[in-house]
Chain A
Amino acid sequence: MAISEQVRAECRQLMDRYPQDRSALVPMLHLLQSEQGMVTAEGLELCAELLDLSTAEVRAVATFYTMYRLRSQGGEHHIGVCVNTACGLLGGDAIFDALSKRLSVSNGEVTADGRFTLERIECQAACTHSPVVTVDWEYFDQMDIDKMMDVIDKLEAGEEVVATRGPAVRGWRAAEKTIAGIDDGLGYKSDAIDSLMLAGLNQAKERGETAPDPKDF
């Protein structure tokens, strides 16, 4: 599968954002992964060509970061289960086991039908919302086994599934493009603020507590 002119143009667009072209490499690899479902030899060569590096130099970078798939295609949806302490012990371990059983895959594997990649992930900076699962890296907060089974049912049926903080999931490859920094038009559209993020503010309002009034100083 040849890399389209449009993607090449998007790569150049990324390069324009930095004083030195090479700075675009990490985002560029996300973009090529989004285009091809993994980082292919062709993708590495394109980075090398555009950034005036050797393919070996690009590969050395690509292999350092865990989000890039260099060996095989990723599934249509990426399911990440946070198993670091605050999530894993509070429910993530059991969620992972249940998903692993349901999808018949172990950590890092893609289901036989190519629909799901299942991965144990590290702390997702959302421990207040534990146990946290991600679908296409969007937040699915305060999950349990039943809720996750429901999410999988819906994804299998092709129904819409909306993140608890974020938009409706659009597939792993679309998420990789967002992560690369290519505008998906959703930046201001999704609901990213929830009651847990407002826990303190709501209580401060109830109790009439505020920061000191600047006029008093």
Chain B
Amino acid sequence: MALTPVITAHWDEPDCFTVDGYKKVGGYRAIKKALKMDPDDVINIIKDSGLRGRGGAGFPTGMKWSFVPQNDGHPHYLTVNGDESEPGACKDIPIMMANPQALIEGIIITCWAIRAEHAFVYIRGEVPEPIRRMHAAVADAEAHGFLGENILGSGMNLKLTVTSGAGAYICGEETALLDSLEGRRGQPRLKPPFPAVAGLYSAPTVINNVETITSVPYIIENGVSWYRSMGTDKSPGFKVWAVSGHVNRPGIYEAPLGITMGELLDYAGGIRDGHELKFWLPGGSSVPLLLQDHLDTPMTYEDIAAAGSMLGTGTPMLFDDTTSVVKAITRWLEFYKHESCGKCTPCREGTAWITGSLERFQEGVGRSEDIEGLVELSNHILGRSFCALGDAAATPYEPALKAFRSEFEAARHQPVDEAFPPAATMIIPPETANLAGAAT
């Protein structure tokens, strides 16, 4: 399947992120169309396009917008989720750095559709470069009259605020994000009510991922049948794939949904020379790992689910035969344990237990009863925790055990660093002397 650069099509132009640069390549034409349309018609176009949320869950975007009660006399808000902190996910930050104007145009169109006059882009705190670029891009768009009062004579007013977090993965969960944006500890809220009914300041609020909203102007400009000519019926359109791990050419590749991992891997130059693929994850650490057998599975929400995983953020990580699966998933569990917000017991306690057991395997003193026990423990967390972070933490172990049971068996007696020397997994192995020095 061919590459189809849309969002990324002009990233090699030196001014692609400015209003002038974006206009040169057709930018800010879609809002002229949209602002002449009835807002409900804009929602219907996005519904018909089949665009699905790129934040991980794949929820239909037009449907989400239609849940906002209209003409209810309350202010409405749009909050763009730029928290991107899921291990493996690395597409939204590049989009904000390279194509912030398409994101802003998408925000204007979305706010027109949902009748919002104030929008926010919430960016994780640890990334000053996209933060300063988004601020500059907003100032640029304001100076050109695309934000502010009576935009392009349409009567629409829109204020756009760029805001930042302060180091908490859980603030990517949409209701925790809203609490953080209200100046509170970022902990998930009970749903219902859903944000579309009672979100920011208890007002109707749409929360969408950066890539989702950036896709909107291209759909409005080029039409539903153009959009649907890419991808599948249930997973239409183009997608920004960020390929990482032991591949020869890691990076950003834009192609339709339905491309296979095998095809993407070809573009990415294959697994690094002299090695073979061991396992891969289609979209972040919160989805079950897949194997070589799944390289021909189309990367759609439905096909990846049928293969036993989830498309997630669509940012595949691939690991070669030098990688200890025990060590890989231990690192992810340590992350979930660290990032658990502590609100509910299954996740707070469960992540600590799983991590403790996995760390014992990593050290070569794994307990044999834990081999099955961790499956049971994971199942106690799955579906019983307050938000999807708990589910994510319960996900990695079982598929890893199923595919690589012997590694867990061996790790009852042998530290994984002995079975899988760390230097072999590194892409730029340090000098032996350095490594010996560093280990002390």
Contact = CB atoms under 8 A, between A and B. Distances in A.
A123 B285 CA distance: 10
Most A C-beta atoms less than 10 A away, residue of B3, B181, B221, B319? B3
Contacts of A184: 132
Interface string A75-110: 000001001111011110110011011000000000
Most A C-beta atoms less than 10 A away, residue of B140, B163, B332? B163
Contact of B331 (A84, A134, A181, A186): A84
Interface in B220-251: 221-223, 225-226, 229-230, 238, 241-246, 249-251
Interface string B1-40: 0111110110110001110000000000000000000000
A80 B126 contact: yes
A188 B84 CA distance: 22
A20 B161 CA distance: 13
* Interface size, B (range): 35 or more
Given A23-B182, A66-B168, A187 B161 contact: no
A160 B92 CA distance: 29
A89 B128 contact: no
B263 to A, nearest CB: 12
Contacts of B225: 217
A152 interface: no
Interface of A: 17-20, 22-27, 29-30, 51, 60-61, 64-68, 80, 83-86, 88-91, 93-94, 97-98, 100-101, 121-131, 134, 136-139, 142, 144-145, 163, 165-167, 175, 178-181, 183-184, 186-188, 190, 192-193, 195-204, 207, 209-212, 214, 216-217
Top 4 closest A-B pairs, CB basis?
A: A187-B136, A199-B251, A200-B253, A25-B183
12 contacts: A84-B332, A90-B426, A101-B437, A128-B242, A129-B90, A145-B438, A166-B129, A187-B133, A195-B251, A200-B251, A200-B254, A214-B223
Interface of B: 2-6, 8-9, 11-12, 16-18, 75, 84-90, 92-94, 97-98, 118, 124-137, 139-140, 161-169, 180-186, 201, 221-223, 225-226, 229-230, 238, 241-246, 249-255, 267-268, 285, 315, 317, 319, 323-324, 327-328, 331-332, 335, 338-339, 422-423, 425-428, 430-431, 434-435, 437-440
